[in-house]
């Protein structure tokens, strides 16, 4: 029997990438896979519903898929994920609005993905070997040198060098601007032994870096009598795992022991992602962040004291309801004074069914854009200043790919993929992709380093 071809498209954050990897792994025995939508018999779109722009992007993609359906009437289109859950929660009748879509699958039905797809493709049940999605299987299409026959199938759809390890799902925080608790539900940690098994096989298959993700990684294990600290100890003991990167920590659940562990374990990156969101007490209170600006400043000072060379990434929201020009200037001054190594800024998005939706003094898009531009310009100058300090320094770089005839492209331990700096390394020597080299930096821009 010729296997039906599935194309999985993913929108949104790395957490969705992991979900798509697990979906693909659950289908491996029954379907073949293609990256070309024109070759597919089934297209599965994994969606993001975090903010309105993500919903808009989902709708845009669905409308594009309708054009394919008009060309290929036998095509099955299945829409899955956060956007589906959110729109159903908002009582949108998706089946009436998009009649050409075969099925809409909310997060609550994620374990039924295989049976839903096979139903629409009319594949006999006896040919289906596995109807469970979340058996902690991951994906590595670059898996040419598998060393062990474990129960986990490894497929990594993003890189042969790094992989995301989703250690939890859901969130118990109730930030007033955030839709995640209503979409994902309460915080749930993944079993530690499953995470270690998954990480070991990823490393066996050539992965150099594992990036820990979740809605709030520092809350990991509190529902399973373990902790992020203990998980990091076990991960750091995996031979050949070169880098462990921690993303999505929360200021109120930060464990200081993690920093001591960074100093003891060479493979835990001196990098931490800790979203602060704002630096004005009134705004933080309205956001229900459960901490004030003074705590943030103490936190940063202490982190830098314990791990002097650490690079801190944070994110901030501009244009939150009621934000005054003075509150904006306070955030601008903080960025200029504290000089965080990595900063992302988001314009506040007014989301239905969140407490902030009903707040008075909503900020206009024009003002939000102006404030966003000012904050990002300030951070660009900070980043340029920080990067110029590296000129003449030898720094360890993971070579990730060829960039062009003159350069390889890579990253340092201080840079997460896709969101942070990259290093362009001159092609004076032949360097194998996926190896680590020491690079001497000779030039620096806002978000790029150049070395040889």
Query: Among 160, 367, 294, 358, which residue's Cα sits nearest to residue 302?
Result: 294
Per-residue confidence (pLDDT) for residue 122, from 0 to 100: 67
Structure tokens at 386: 């920080």
Question: Cα–Cα distance between 107 and 50 in angstroms, integer?
Answer: 13
Question: Cα–Cα distance between 198 and 206 in angstroms, integer?
Answer: 13
Query: Among 260, 259, 292, which residue's Cα sits nearest to residue 278?
Result: 292
Per-residue confidence (pLDDT) for residue 126, from 0 to 100: 43
Q: Residue ranges per domain, the chain?
A: 5-127, 162-388, 394-451
CATH class, 5-127 region: alpha beta
Query: Cβ(168)–Cβ(187) under 8 Å?
Result: yes
Could you tell me which residues come within 8 angstroms of residue 228 by beta carbon, excluding any fewer than 6 positions away? 167, 212, 217, 218, 219, 220, 221, 246, 255, 258
**Partners of 397 in the beta sheet?**
437
Q: How far is CA 89 from the centre of its chain?
A: 24
Query: Among 322, 316, 357, which residue's Cα sits nearest to residue 334?
Result: 316
178: left (phi over 0), alpha (psi -120 to 50) or beta: beta
CATH no., domain 162-388 = 3.80.30.20
Per-residue confidence (pLDDT) for residue 299, from 0 to 100: 96
Per-residue confidence (pLDDT) for residue 23, from 0 to 100: 85
| Exposed / middle / buried, residue 56 (Cβ in 10 Å: 0-12, 13-18, 19+) | exposed
Tens of pLDDT, residue by residue, the chain (452 residues): 577 888 999 998 888 888 888 888 888 778 888 888 888 889 999 999 999 999 999 999 999 999 999 999 889 999 999 999 999 988 888 999 899 999 999 988 888 888 888 887 765 444 434 333 333 333 333 333 334 334 445 567 678 899 999 999 999 999 999 999 999 999 999 999 999 999 999 999 899 999 999 999 999 999 999 999 999 999 999 999 999 999 999 999 999 999 999 999 999 999 999 999 999 999 999 999 999 999 999 999 999 999 999 999 999 999 999 999 999 999 999 999 999 999 999 999 999 889 999 999 999 999 999 999 999 999 999 999 999 999 999 999 999 999 999 999 999 999 999 999 999 999 988 899 999 999 999 999 999 999 99
Query: Cβ(375)–Cβ(331) under 8 Å?
Result: yes
Superfamily of domain 394-451: Nucleic acid-binding proteins (2.40.50.140)
Per-residue confidence (pLDDT) for residue 123, from 0 to 100: 58
Per-residue confidence (pLDDT) for residue 85, from 0 to 100: 93
Taking CB atoms within 8 Å and a gap of at least 24, the contacts of 426-432 are 426/450, 426/451, 426/452, 428/452, 431/399, 432/399
Question: Cα–Cα distance between 400 and 392 in angstroms, integer?
Answer: 22
Half-sphere exposure (Cβ direction) of 292: Cα atoms closer than 13 Å: 3
Query: Cβ(421)–Cβ(360) under 8 Å?
Result: no
Is the pTM above the cut of 0.85?
yes
């Amino acid at each position: 029997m010729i296997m039906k071809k599935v194309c999985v498209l993913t929108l949104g954050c790395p957490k969705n990438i992991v979900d798509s990897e697990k979906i693909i792994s659950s289908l491996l025995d029954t379907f073949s896979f293609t990256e070309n939508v024109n070759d597919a018999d089934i297209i599965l779109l994994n969606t993001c519903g975090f903010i309105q722009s993500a919903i808009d992007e989902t709708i845009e993609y669905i409308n594009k898929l309708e054009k394919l359906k008009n060309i290929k009437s036998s095509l099955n289109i299945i829409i899955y994920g956060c956007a589906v859950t959110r729109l159903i929660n908002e009582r949108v009748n998706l089946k009436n609005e998009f009649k050409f879509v075969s099925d809409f699958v909310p997060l609550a039905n994620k374990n039924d993905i295989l049976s839903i797809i096979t139903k629409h493709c009319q594949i006999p049940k006896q040919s289906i070997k596995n109807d469970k999605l979340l058996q902690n299987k991951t994906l590595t299409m670059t898996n040419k040198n598998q060393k062990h026959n474990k129960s986990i199938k490894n497929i990594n759809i993003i890189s042969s060098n790094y992989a995301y390890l989703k250690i939890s799902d859901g969130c118990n925080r109730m930030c007033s601007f955030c839709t995640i608790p209503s979409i994902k539900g309460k915080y749930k940690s993944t079993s530690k032994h499953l995470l270690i098994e998954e990480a070991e096989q990823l490393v066996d298959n050539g992965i150099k870096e594992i990036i820990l993700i979740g809605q709030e990684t520092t809350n990991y294990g509190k529902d399973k009598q373990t902790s992020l600290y203990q998980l990091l100890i076990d991960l750091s003991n995996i031979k050949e795992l070169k880098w462990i990167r921690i993303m999505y920590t929360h200021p109120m659940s930060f464990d200081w022991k993690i920093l001591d562990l960074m100093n003891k374990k060479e493979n835990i990156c001196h990098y931490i992602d800790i979203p602060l969101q704002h630096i004005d007490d009134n705004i933080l209170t309205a956001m229900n962040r459960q901490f004030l600006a003074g705590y943030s400043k103490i936190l940063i000072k202490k982190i830098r004291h314990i791990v002097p060379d650490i690079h801190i990434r944070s994110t901030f929201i501009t244009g939150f309801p009621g934000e005054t020009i003075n509150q904006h200037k306070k955030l601008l001054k903080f960025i200029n004074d504290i000089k965080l190594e990595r900063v992302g800024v988001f314009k506040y998005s007014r989301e239905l069914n969140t407490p902030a939706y009903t707040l008075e003094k909503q900020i206009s898009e024009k003002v939000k854009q102006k404030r966003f531009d000012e904050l990002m310009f300030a951070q660009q100058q900070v980043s340029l200043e920080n990067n110029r300090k590296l000129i003449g320094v030898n720094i360890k770089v993971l070579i990730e790919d060829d960039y062009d005839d003159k350069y390889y492209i890579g990253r340092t331990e201080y840079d997460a993929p896709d969101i942070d700096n990259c290093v362009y390394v001159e092609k004076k020597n032949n360097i194998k992709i996926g190896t680590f080299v020491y690079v001497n930096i000779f030039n620096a821009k806002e978000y790029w380093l150049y070395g040889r």
